[in-house]
Amino acid sequence: AQTVTQSQPEMSVQEAETVTLSCTYDTSESDYYLFWYKQPPSRQMILVIRQEAYKQQNATENRFSVNFQKAAKSFSLKISDSQLGDAAMYFCAWAGGSRLTFGEGTQLTVNP
């Protein structure tokens, strides 16, 4: 069974600084997708960034980028120039077929 582990229950960052959220996963499959979702206090799940496992290039979306290490089964999220609106719960997720497997989440606080 696939597992996703987020070892940081809570993280904090100063506004305008950079923060990295960790995620590791375990799978025997070679073709899969990885995602980072953001869940703000409204509890609406918002896709932040996705990575296809067959792509070596790390995905980037504006201030958000990932460090995908396939051999190490690591998928960290870097948030640059942190903004107050980035404060949320962040979930790492793995998908091999249709279903998503989520990590436990990291609560990110952004300090002004």
Partner 1 sequence: GAVVSQHPSRVICKSGTSVKIECRSLDFQATTMFWYRQFPKQSLMLMATSNEGSKATYEQGVEKDKFLINHASLTLSTLTVTSAHPEDSSFYICSAKLAGVRNEQFFGPGTRLTVL
Summarize as ranges the residues that interact with partner 1 (CB under 8 A): 33, 35, 37, 42-47, 50, 52, 89, 91, 95, 97-100, 102-105, 107
Q: Closest separation between CB of residue 112 and partner 1, Å?
A: 23
Q: Helix (H, G, I), strand (E, B), or coil: what is residue 96?
A: coil
| Token pair 């375990």: residue | 26
Comparison of 63 and 96: residue with beta carbon closer to partner 1: 96
Q: Closest separation between CB of residue 16 and partner 1, Å?
A: 27
Other beta carbons within 10 angstroms of residue 71's beta carbon come to 5
Distance, CA of 49 to CA of 68 (rounded, Å): 12
Comparison of 80 and 96: residue with beta carbon closer to partner 1: 96
Of 72, 58, 59, which Cα lies nearest the Cα of 26?
Answer: 72
Q: Closest separation between CB of residue 87 and partner 1, Å?
A: 15
